[in-house]
Structure 1
């Protein structure tokens, strides 16, 4: 997961926290936190996550795709959180 961009990691977390969101739902969710995200930025990054195996892509209907975290994506998030915890711990 270290070779993903910060934006791609953020997308992965948004997808993991949702139930098969559409691209539009992901766009709306992430835009609340990072500001306006255009299609030209969103969809190529979603495609990268799919190509890398972190996310599965399917169809709600003929016009709407959904995205779902894969087992590999869950493992990557878990490993990333463990790595972060080694360096950033606020326990005293």
Structure 2
């Protein structure tokens, strides 16, 4: 996960927290978080990157709608990242 951009990590986390979201649902969630519109030209290439890295799988809901699902590898990467983050967060929370 170290080679992902912050946007890609955010996108991966949003996918993990939703049930088979489609691109527009992901866009809406990210628009809210970033407080600005995420353009399709940014969203879909980053989704493709997550698919290529094996962190997300892309399926179809119907002939016009793609859905995205986190893979087991993607879930493991999130868990490893959270463990790494927590070691620093836990240390900083301890009074000196």
Q: TM-score, normalised by structure 2?
A: 0.93
Q: Runs (4+) of structure 1 moved beyond 4 Å?
A: none
Matches of residues 13-92 of structure 1 in structure 2 within 5 Å?
Answer: 13-34=13-34, 35-89=36-90, 90=93
Kindly state the Cα deviation for residue 71 of structure 1 after the two structures are TM-superposed. Answer: 0.2
Q: 3-state DSSP class of the match of 1:41? A: helix
Q: CA RMSD in A?
A: 0.9
Max radius of gyration: which structure? 2
Kindly state the Cα deviation for residue 84 of structure 1 after the two structures are TM-superposed. Answer: 0.3
Q: C-alpha deviations, 1:16-62, integer Å up to 9, x for none?
A: 00000000000001110112100000000000000000001000000
Q: 3-state DSSP class of the match of 2:19? A: coil
Unaligned runs of 5+ in 1: none
Count of residues in correspondence between the two structures:
92
Kindly state the Cα deviation for residue 91 of structure 1 after the two structures are TM-superposed. Answer: 5.4
